[in-house]
Amino acid sequence: MKAMTATGRTGRSEPSVELAAVDQPQPRPNEALVKVEAYSVNRGETFQLEAPRPDWRPGKDVAGLVVQAAADGSGPAVGTRVVGHPPQGGWAEYVAVPTDSLAELTDEVSAVTAAALPLAGLTALRLLRVTASAGGRRVLITGASGGVGHYFVELAAAAGLEITAVSSSPERGARLLELGAVRVVRTIDDAEGPFDVVLESTGGPNLPVALAKVARRGTLIWFGQASRQPVTLDFFDFFAGPESAAIRHFHYADSDTTYGQDLRTLVRLVAAGRLHPEIGLVADWSGTADVLTRLRDRGVRGNAVLTIA
């Protein structure tokens, strides 16, 4: 079969992936073999491609058709349309996916729409749960222009939270307002706190500024490092800041629910018209390298989806 493989070249003028012939995956007993119709690429994957592991192939967001059911009897039957979140290898004609990382698609949800759900949608849904458990009502989210930000704003607004989103783009900011944000600001400095919960995803110099926006007994949840700049925190400033505030690290994989369970929730919300994946670009998978460059340079609003004819 054919698959996108990492070239190991890191120059911006060169493609970071190329189409190559590889062995078709042999599913484990708890895995189904999926014929991929569409996959989504994420900005974080562009960073992984700069120094790829020898045994790694990219791809964690896929939608397609089950062509071989799991040998242990779990999961969907052959012929079922699914969305999945494999650990790797999804940018390919076929991928083996654990059955607890699959969800069946309804007729209302296309493969292109579904492919945009897994990583960004799972992150947003699980962030919302953590935000709720932290007692968040007034919430600030940085880096809100990407896929996670769009999903989170719509989900959180529907849950009754008051969301302030940080977006440097007026166009993207307008969309966040349509999705339910109470206000959109260009920089963290412009955000009028304090906030019960601050969701910080950019790192660098922005995190200390975001921390200063936290309310008494509030929480800063650190879930990304988009700027790729180191963070320096002066804890003397922290102690002099919001009383009894907390800093919490978040990783989307740390959850009591399986990917499959949460993917079913996301599919149900999309089918009901209560969640709207923000897909900024759809292209044939032969253009994956170019799409990765655009994504790395923030040239795509929301998600980018590649289709396999």
Q: Render the burial of 82-99: b for 16+ CB within 10 Å, e for the rest.
A: bbbbbebbbbbbbbbbbb
Report CA-CA distances (Å) from 129 to 18, 206, 250, 265.
38, 24, 11, 13
- Contact criterion met (CB below 8 Å) for 121 and 143: no
Quick one: tokens of 183? 């206000």
The CATH code for residues 124-249 is 3.40.50.720
Short-list 63, 84, 78, CA closest to 285: 63
SS3 303: strand
- What is d(CA 56, CA 59) in angstroms, rounded to the nearest whole number? 10
Backbone angles phi, psi at 18, to 5 degrees: -145, 155
Domains 2-117+277-307 and 124-249 share a fold: no
- Contact criterion met (CB below 8 Å) for 75 and 96: no
Q: Which residues contact 88 (CB under 8 A, 6 or more apart)?
A: 56, 57, 58, 59, 60
Residues 226-241 have pLDDT tens digits of 767 777 777 777 777 7
pLDDT confidence of residue 34: 98
- What is d(CA 226, CA 249) in angstroms, rounded to the nearest whole number? 15
* pTM (predicted TM-score): 0.93
pLDDT confidence of residue 10: 54
Range of lowest pLDDT (8-12, 111-115, 209-213, 296-300): 8-12
Residues 149-184 have pLDDT tens digits of 999 999 999 999 999 999 988 888 899 999 999 999
Quick one: tokens of 238? 């922290």
Domain ranges within the chain, ordered by starting residue = 2-117+277-307, 124-249
Residues 107-124 have pLDDT tens digits of 999 999 999 999 999 999
Q: Render the burial of 171-203: b for 16+ CB within 10 Å, e for the rest.
A: ebbebbbebbbeebbeebeebebbbbbbbbbbb
Q: Which CATH class, in words, describes the domain spanning 2-117+277-307? A: alpha beta
- What is d(CA 161, CA 207) in angstroms, rounded to the nearest whole number? 22
Backbone angles phi, psi at 70, to 5 degrees: -65, 140
Short-list 120, 13, 134, 2, CA closest to 61: 120
Quick one: which H or E segment has residue 62?
strand 61-68
SS3 124: helix
In angstroms and rounded to an integer, the radius of gyration of the C-alpha atoms of the chain is 20
Kindly tell me if the per-residue pLDDT of 15 is higher than 70.
no
Residues 258-287 have pLDDT tens digits of 999 999 999 999 999 999 999 989 999 999
DSSP 88: S
Query: How many other C-beta atoms can be found within 10 angstroms of the C-beta atom of residue 76?
Result: 21
Kindly tell me if the per-residue pLDDT of 13 is higher than 70.
no
